[in-house]
Structure 1
Amino acid sequence: MSESPGLTRAERRQRTQERILDSARDLFAQHGFERTTIRGVASAAGVDPALVMQYYGSKRELFARAAQVPVPLATPAAEEPADIVEALLSTLGSKLDGLPATTLTMMRSMLTHPEAQRIATETFDRQVEEITAVLSGADAQARAALLICVTVGVTIGHQMLGVEALRGLRPHDITELLRPALHALIGP
């Protein structure tokens, strides 16, 4: 694939990285973690496999980047525990509006493949630490973990399992029902 002639080297590099990441998301979604290969990603992106390795280091790191869903927890706005609840509910609301098929498939990989599960656990652990830093009390880390698990569980129940009682609700209704429970978890 040829790039536009007027681009700087940095812009060409960024476009190539994005193309690789897009190809990786598609292939992980289609084939899961185990059956997706660096060669397959490179071929789909129109680059040499060595370039995929240069930019992402390994299949594990590529999957971790492809599976990243930004969660606005560690922002200056989330300095108070109540801000964390609102950030989680906002993120949950957008997830309940419909995750792309690629994200859903990657979530399935995280639930079924050990390496993908480790990557998801590392991501959740980072989010728990970010929330724990804002909460107080001896059980702050446990409460932070519960906040993450509740929102992930609702996403799975709504988007992947299609729990009927949740499917019939609008995302706003679900977040409003959850708000008091999440506030209870952040504590005093």
Structure 2
Amino acid sequence: MPPRSHRTSRDAQRERTQARILAAARRLFASAGYDRTTVRAIAREAGSDPGLVIRYFGSKEQLFARAAELPPDDRLEGEPARIAEQMLASLQAKLTSDAAGSVAVLRSMLTHPDAEREVRQALADQQRAGAAALGSPDAALRIGLVGVLVLGVVLGRDLLELDGLRDAPPEQVVALLRPAIHALTYGGAEPGPRGS
């Protein structure tokens, strides 16, 4: 059995290679879309070998699924005003993170059925959890409206690169959206205990 430090360095090297491949895949899926991105191009971009791409990720489809994973939102809980602030914090995190993963998801969901299903399922799960946390009779509609607002902001900023939105500081975007998110979350009225 190899010494522990040798295994650790091989493990670290494998993790670095996987991270390079994943970063390259995100860049290429974002710029070229799913259909025009090849395993060979990803390997070349990562400074790796196509065999390693398959060894570490299984297939192009599995690599895309990893590259396009939506980070789970933190669990929403508390009173409606707190839930609104949690959603705003999640939006700010999305706007300050590397956009390549989101762009890959957004671009590919328009042309690739698996990507569309994956995004739809992830969003549906997030919306169900958000509606359960909000707990009002129209919670599903309210959370759905917040979801499409956030999706529109991310789409406009990262995929369409709309003037003004593309270069706006995330803090400014969140500050401008704060009243709308609060209004959608609890109707603009002073938030009270659930069900009141």
Same fold (TM over 0.5): yes
**Bigger-Rg structure (1/2):** 2
- TM-score, length-normalised on structure 2? 0.70
Return the letter of the residue paired with 1:125: A
Alpha carbons of structure 1 residues 83 and 62: separation in structure 2 relative to 1, 3 Å: farther
The correspondence of residues 150-165 of structure 1 with structure 2, limited to 5 A, is 150-163=149-162
Alpha carbons of structure 1 residues 15 and 133: separation in structure 2 relative to 1, 3 Å: farther
The correspondence of residues 36-185 of structure 1 with structure 2, limited to 5 A, is 36-45=37-46, 46-49=48-51, 51-74=52-75, 78-80=76-78, 81-96=80-95, 100=99, 103-104=102-103, 106-163=105-162, 166=165, 170-185=169-184
- Three-state SS of the structure 2 residue aligned to 1:70 is coil
Alignment root-mean-square deviation, CA: 3.2
Alpha carbons of structure 1 residues 117 and 174: separation in structure 2 relative to 1, 3 Å: same
Unaligned runs of 5+ in 1: none
- TM-score, length-normalised on structure 1? 0.72
Identity %: 42
Alpha carbons of structure 1 residues 137 and 101: separation in structure 2 relative to 1, 3 Å: closer
Q: CA deviation at 1:19?
A: 2.2
Instruction: Report how many residues are paired.
Output: 180
Bigger shift: 25-34 or 134-143? 134-143
Unaligned runs of 5+ in 2: 187-193
Return the letter of the residue paired with 1:79: E
Distance 1:83 1:61 in 2: 36
